[in-house]
Chain A
Amino acid sequence: MTNTYIESFPAEAKVVRAAFYSSFLALAIGGLFGIIQTLHRTGYYRFMDSADYYTVLTAHGVLLAITFTIFFLVGVFTWATTTSLDRPVEDIRFTWAWYGLMVLGTVLTAIPIFAGFTDSEMSASVLFTFYAPLQGHPLFYFGLVLFVVGTWLAGVDWFRSWWAWKQEHPDERIPLPTFMVLTTTLMWYIATLGVAAAILLFLLPWSLGLVESVNPLLTRTLFWFFGHPVVYFWLMPAYMMWYVLLPKISGGKLFSDPLARVVFVLFLILSVPTGIHHQYLDPGIAEGFKFIAMTNTMFLLLPSLLTAFTVVASMEHGARQRGGTGYLGWLKALPWRDPVFAGMALAGLMFAAAGFSGMINAGMNINYLVHNTFWVVGHFHLTVGTAVALTFMAVTYWFLPQVTGKALWSRSVALGQVVLWFVGMTFMSNAMHRGGLLGIPRRTAEPQYEGFEFEAAVGSVGELDAQIALGGALLTLSLVLFFANVVGTALNSRSDDLPANEYADTLSGPSDAPLVLDNLKLWTAIAIVLVIFAYSFPLLSIIERGGLFGPELTELPVSIGLGLEYLWVTTVSTVTAAGETAITIIAGVSS
């Protein structure tokens, strides 16, 4: 007996495994589209029509940013709650139900995206940022709704486990991994209200032809209401791995449980009221509102810097317990040959670089200079593309034996894979950042123009393109090695000599954390109040200026014959009237 996860929780291990495999499938397809884009954009190999580039880009974005990340994290979160509460899920059929709903949602979303490659009428080449005026087939939006509802139900599952556990352990602190899952889930519930409103009230009815137009700025704002916190939905599970797994792999203990709790509470509070920082260049939102979003964003640096400190201190604790000495000499004592460690540590290092480019994006005036350029693409390939993706791939090498009961196929290939990813991303992302500084645009199939050349102070555009293509090729090779390991492990026979399902102990434990940190109701309430502060005025002013459904719809004749349309218009006019009343009240209060 080795006490792996699959031995303790065989039924749950199957769900976690299914979630992981679903995420890997998305990673494989999304990654393939990544190299196609890389070669197309840089002009090294263009085998498709440039119009199809945007279909490829949509599939790359949706499959990697939504499907890969979220399927992986629901697996990790299910592992975290069951392991740290030491209890199975309350009803495994419910767990399979939300997983099934997420799969169904993904398939329905993928159908119209992939139909974009055919001659059919159906398409949804609306990119990952699917706000108006780009319009996709209704199935795209419907699938996304099902997927998000699946994640909501997954959250219900984790909360059910915690509630049941609390009945039996009324005086105990929430175990740290479960605490991280619950705070992240609460943040996700608040964040997804924006995208739910954007899809259900506007984009889906518009795509179905129930309404003639939408207010593009409103759908953009609602998208970014969700679009920024979604990055923390990807990042929080990576942080969780850095907090609960990395210290153990380093040979030490988590430096501080209270600090970890503070970090997750801060993310719950601050993740959502920041989305407008993606809209610094949007006309129609007053600069005062943008300034508030910038302030909130800068506050978000705090939990990330706290994380940098806590995680590095935990690694140092491990290194010193392993005999490391000196100011920097302890770094050599870390287990760099362990792919789980090396992958996570390199991911963390890349995240430190991403912190800088993120600060540039967050600053309102500096953002003007890099907005919509390749710089931004470079930035998020460091964050979601490395800090998150490389961490997920590294911990896969720890999780696979846990959920399959089989030894990892090859640790050497795994180590090569994580290093290759780091090197490939260094080439690609660095060149993307530099390209952005030259003004090279993002989301562009052929970023070259007649009679105009981007001028580089150092190097040349050709050199940047070469770096991007080389980086993309290395990343693709890294992916191939990753999948070889996943498949090789799956084909292995069951092993009795596997590490136990354990996570890091703490130097400073939960008893040192103030009790108020576990008051989830309080933090949720504060989070909601901050969202109301940050968003109510901008949203009302956007609606006041452009109308709920854009300028045209206000003249739409009420047709009693068309029941559905009548119902819709009635709802719309009621909501509009309510909005106007609210604006009048606010105007009255402020004057």
Chain B
Amino acid sequence: MSQTAEHEASNETSEHVREIGHDEFDPIGTLTLIGIYFLILVFLWFFMYFVEFLGNDPTVVSGTLVFLATGERLA
């Protein structure tokens, strides 16, 4: 039952001004948005280091002390 996207009745402002086919469509806007999201993720990843590791005591994983974050070695 799939069909062309012509009139969308639930969409009162639907102004279908042009038909863009597979080969003409260049999703540069998608690249821009996903790029922004990626930058946000990278920023948050760095931010996390400050919030969690510098704001808390060292995390113990499998008996190995992670002291890099604080620069201190625990006994």
Instruction: List chain A positions with a Cβ less than 8 A from chain B.
Output: 83-84, 86, 175, 247-249, 251-253, 255, 287, 308-309, 312-313, 316-324, 326-328, 330-331, 335, 337-338, 340-341, 352, 355-356, 359-360, 364-366, 368-369, 397-398, 437, 457, 497-508
Contact = CB atoms under 8 A, between A and B. Distances in A.
A500 B41 CA distance: 40
B5 A507 contact: no
14 contacts: A84-B2, A252-B5, A312-B33, A318-B5, A322-B17, A323-B17, A326-B29, A327-B28, A330-B29, A340-B10, A356-B41, A366-B52, A497-B9, A507-B25
Nearest to B38: A305
B75 interface: no
Contact of B62 (A287, A309, A328, A331): A287
Given A84-B2, A308-B37, A505-B5, 13 more contacts: A83-B1, A251-B5, A251-B8, A255-B25, A312-B30, A321-B20, A322-B15, A337-B12, A338-B10, A369-B52, A398-B10, A498-B9, A507-B25
A309 B30 contact: yes
A503 B10 CA distance: 13
Interface of B: 1-5, 8-22, 25, 27-30, 32-34, 37, 40-41, 44, 48, 51-52, 55-56, 59, 61-62, 66
A366 B32 contact: no
Give the 6 A-B CB pairs with smallest separation, nearest first: A499-B9, A313-B27, A323-B17, A313-B30, A327-B32, A316-B29
B1 A501 contact: yes
A457 B55 contact: yes
Nearest to B21: A507
A253 B5 contact: yes
A365 B66 contact: yes
A505 B2 contact: yes
A255 B62 CA distance: 46
A360 B48 CA distance: 9
Contacts of A498: 9
A501 B9 CA distance: 11
B9 A322 contact: no
A276 to B, nearest CB: 16
A364 to B, nearest CB: 8
B32 A335 contact: no
Contacts of B66: 365
Given A326-B29, A505-B5, A321 B16 contact: yes
Contacts of A308: 34, 37
Given A502-B1, A502-B3, A503-B1, A335 B14 contact: yes
B11 A338 contact: yes
B55 A316 contact: no
A505 B62 CA distance: 52
A369 B52 CA distance: 7
Given A326-B29, A328-B33, A437 B9 contact: no
A83 B6 CA distance: 19
B52 to A, nearest CB: 5
Contacts of B56: 369
